[in-house]
Chains A and B, each alone.
Chain A
């Protein structure tokens, strides 16, 4: 898949995983694994970018005597998922055109 396209998809995938509940690095990767492979070194820049854009927030919570960072999706993050789905509907229409050559 095109790198740029996958980058955009992964951002929304992470937001979608976080929509269920706030989560942490290891679990985000595990939750995404059945759908798409994402490496640890790919996830961190995504989380950083999403946080910078105000789409997720980060909170440290104690777990087993150490601190673990939990990421939660913000309202802006949820809006980003909706925008993406809306864009995809348009892409589907364009795909139909590409596939059928405009013949319904």
Chain B
């Protein structure tokens, strides 16, 4: 196990503690890794010697009067509440997905429409002969196509942002159902 992996597991096992305390404790071990590495020990050997990160965390949790984290099962009312929260969240998610599809689709269609218009006027130009108005219309269509293509990128970025917000919302509900982020006092 590398120092990074050991510290990651240690931090995870300390999750019942406030973040600042968790980080302070992790700094202590990071410092030990650095000092022992400077004394010539390998990261793997140090990690082996420090032992199970969960056990090291347990010693601190006991000292802090905090019980080690309980199983991940949330209580029944939490799950029920999460399901109730899930109903409006489902509606919001569906709406966001609709926007996600509709936004780029509309710009793709705008671009295609512009190109189609330009093609049509090139065809009429060939069939009907040169006409200033037709040429101007062809230019306008091409401008529309360009605008559509340019707007596609911000639309995709906006969609990605909406999707991430949506994911975060679901994660929060799931965390709530599991009762995570709460301190378990012994």
- Chain A interface (Cβ within 8 Å of chain B)? 24-27, 40-42, 44-45, 47-49, 64, 66-69
Contact = CB atoms under 8 A, between A and B. Distances in A.
B28 A44 contact: yes
Nearest to B10: A41
Q: Mostly helix, strand, loop or mixed at chain A's interface?
A: helix
Interface string B51-78: 1000110011011100000000000000
B91 to A, nearest CB: 48
Contacts of B170: none
A41 B55 contact: yes
Contact of A48 (B31, B56, B60): B60
Nearest to B29: A40
Interface of B: 25, 27-29, 31-32, 34-36, 38-39, 50-51, 55-56, 59-60, 62-64
A45 B59 contact: yes
Contact of A49 (B34, B39, B56, B63): B63
Contacts, number: 49
A48 B38 contact: no
Contacts of A25: 28, 31-32, 35
B34 A66 contact: yes
Contacts of B29: 40, 44
Nearest to B46: A40
A26 B63 contact: no
Contacts of A49: 63
A41 B34 contact: no
Given A25-B28, A26-B31, A41-B56, A48 B36 contact: no
A16 B36 CA distance: 23
Nearest to A42: B59
Given A40-B32, A40-B50, A44-B28, A64 B56 contact: no
Contact of B60 (A26, A27, A44, A66): A44
Contact of A45 (B27, B51, B55, B63): B63
A26 B35 contact: yes
Contacts of B31: 24-26, 66-69
A44 B25 contact: yes
Contacts of B62: 45
Q: Choose among B27, B51, B63 the residue with the greatest number of A CB atoms under 10 Å from its CB.
A: B63
A40 B35 contact: no
A6 to B, nearest CB: 14
A33 to B, nearest CB: 13
Given A48-B60, A48-B64, A64-B38, 8 more contacts: A24-B35, A26-B31, A44-B29, A44-B59, A47-B28, A66-B34, A68-B31, A68-B35
